[in-house]
Amino acid sequence: YAMLLSLIFLIVLVAAVVGFVFRHEIKTNFESNLNLALRDYNVTADRHSEAVDTIQRTLHCCGVQNYSDWERTEYFTQRGIPQSCCKSQDDCSEEDLKDLSKAKLKVFVDGCFFLVTSTMESKMSIVAGISFGIACFQLVGIILACCLSQYITNNQYEMV
């Protein structure tokens, strides 16, 4: 049991170190994947389009860097900026969303990349605290399992 807990502890420790060391690559990959999701955005219910809509609605943002990122997409040429960027769903018409100058007043202008990364970084202290607490419990479990094993081994020869 102590060996299993030690293995899990080491895996979590390695994952934390790798995540910390490669955090810049993670950001770069996230940005490129968000750009790909915008480029391939469509109205049909695929996971990437739903994820983009959810991010934009939840964080009140639009596009990767700003709302004008949608101008370079095929979706924009057909339908304009998506409804998920609108500040108010009642006040967004399709004609307004096809014109960037009109859309600027109706949609969120801030990009999602900065908001997502800043939200993640602000929550990292909470994640680190919880991870540290779990690691402490694992270490206590490892120590107690070793003590129990030692106790059983010492008393085995006295049971005659």
- Could you report the per-residue pLDDT of 41-56, keeping only the tens digit for each? 885 667 888 888 899 9
Output 159 or 68, whichever has higher pLDDT. Answer: 68
Q: How far is CA 120 from CA 28, 58, 65, in A?
A: 14, 14, 17
Render 85-98 in DSSP notation, one character per residue.
Answer: GBS-GGG--HHHHH
Percent of the chain with pLDDT over 70: 95
Q: Does the pLDDT value for residue 133 go beyond 80?
A: yes
Task: Identify the pLDDT of residue 61.
Answer: 92
Q: Predicted confidence band at 93 (pLDDT cuts at 50, 70, 90)?
A: confident
DSSP code, position 22 = T
Task: Identify the pLDDT of residue 37.
Answer: 87
Q: Does the pLDDT value for residue 122 go beyond 70?
A: yes
Task: Identify the pLDDT of residue 27.
Answer: 87
> Per 3-state DSSP, what percentage of the chain is helix, strand, and coil (rounded to 5)?
80, 0, 20
Q: Predicted confidence band at 24 (pLDDT cuts at 50, 70, 90)?
A: confident
8 A C-beta contact, residue 1 and residue 145: yes
Average pLDDT over residues 69-85: 88
Task: Identify the pLDDT of residue 149.
Answer: 87
Give the integer Cα–Cα distance in Å for 151 and 112.
Answer: 57
CATH 1.10.1450.10 assigned to 1-158: yes
Contacts of 21-28 with CB under 8 Å at 24 or more apart are 27/117
Average pLDDT over residues 122-130: 82
Give the CA count within 13 Å in the CB-facing half-sphere of 157.
3
Task: Identify the pLDDT of residue 141.
Answer: 92
Give the integer Cα–Cα distance in Å for 109 and 5.
Answer: 48
Domain ranges of the chain: 1-158
